[in-house]
Structure 1
């Protein structure tokens, strides 16, 4: 099945998520209740498991702005983590993911996670590996750039990043951070993180 076939067979987006995307991209729309967004994300995740839709890394390429996240909390009764409250990120907080392709492998590439707080910008970057059978995107942040009012303060490896970057593709998935993408559209992507939280991004203009 080709990528275009996969997109054609993907179920239409949940109306609540559609409303959330309108709010995040236009700011003129009325936001849905955070609790409703969480339920809509969970419903989309369940549908993705049932329909067994498979995505490709090429569908993730580009820049996506983080717009909605859920927290997690420990639960002894459930022996793990459960979802906390969800929230929209304020407009002045600009957090973006940018995926770029590799020249050697269509399911590998690099990721940049940028946090822009006005005069201060932090960019973390590193290698990625997409596992199509499970829609899992593994990654590692091995480098960091810090700028203040456009002036570069630091650019280089972090936490033994050079060594970690060199052996990234030899590691097993359990050794890596990852997102499991259950919704991939032209306007948005949504995933569950390794820690159990949910996140929704919209396509950056």
Structure 2
């Protein structure tokens, strides 16, 4: 019952309607993370990576973020609704990630690179590890920013909590939580 109520709050936060209080949203994200980890451990019908691959492809607009654990400690805040349009796109077949910042419909800055979905370790969430090796500025300047590919353990990652047809939630390598809506 609580899980369904939390999903309603998360979906409400991702909709254009009145947004839930950011502290309440943070608490829902934490409960959803705990609940979904318990579900993942008990459901072995298919791997977490294959489930995530089925649902992740597409574009996701960042709705809410807590920042890293260090940022939370400094600011004393549990998180904020994201004030500008930031979109992450995943092509699971090609293993390509793009992360763009928009002004209106125009992408002013986009990072791109590769990603891998790493199956869940025992008691942990499935991870998406990634590297950005391209920077596209104002859709005019395509700049290589990559070096040698790092080992998975050294790459940034998201530990996915939930990904369905409307919303996605994850915890980043720095410990921050995020909520996206599918667009």
TM-score per shorter chain, which class? 0.7 to 0.9
Alpha-carbon distance between aligned partners in 2 of 1:12 and 1:97, rounded to the nearest angstrom: 29
Deviation digits for residues 178-197 of structure 1 (CA, Å, limit 9, x no counterpart): 00001111100000000000
Following superposition, the deviation at residue 73 of structure 1 comes to 4.4
C-alpha spacing 1:51/1:19, structure 2 compared with 1 (3 Å): closer
Deviation digits for residues 75-124 of structure 1 (CA, Å, limit 9, x no counterpart): 9xxxx99x84211123xx11001001335xxxxx0100010024661010
> Comparing both structures, which one devotes a greater share of its residues to strand?
1
Following superposition, the deviation at residue 44 of structure 1 comes to 0.6
Alpha-carbon distance between aligned partners in 2 of 1:47 and 1:16, rounded to the nearest angstrom: 10
Contact map agreement 1:14 1:40 (CA 8 A) in 2: no
The CA RMSD measured in Å over matched residues stands at: 2.7
TM-score, normalised with respect to structure 1: 0.72
* 1:111 matched to 2:104: no
Following superposition, the deviation at residue 12 of structure 1 comes to 8.7
1:187 is aligned to 166
Alpha-carbon distance between aligned partners in 1 of 2:67 and 2:160, rounded to the nearest angstrom: 17
Contact map agreement 2:3 2:35 (CA 8 A) in 1: no
Q: Alignment partner of 2:132: what SS?
A: coil
For structure 1, list consecutive stretches of 5 or more residues without a partner in the other structure.
Answer: 1-10, 104-108
Moved over 6 A (4+): none
Larger Rg: 1
C-alpha spacing 1:13/1:115, structure 2 compared with 1 (3 Å): farther
TM-score, normalised with respect to structure 2: 0.80
2:78 is aligned to 85
1:131 is aligned to 118
Contact map agreement 2:69 2:175 (CA 8 A) in 1: no
Query: How many residues get paired?
Result: 169
For structure 2, list consecutive stretches of 5 or more residues without a partner in the other structure.
Answer: none
* 1:21 matched to 2:17: no
User: Which of the pair has the greater relative contact order for Cα pairs under 8 Å at 6+ separation?
Assistant: 2
C-alpha spacing 1:36/1:98, structure 2 compared with 1 (3 Å): same
Contact map agreement 1:14 1:44 (CA 8 A) in 2: no
Deviation digits for residues 29-56 of structure 1 (CA, Å, limit 9, x no counterpart): 2211100100000001101221225233
Contact map agreement 1:68 1:200 (CA 8 A) in 2: yes
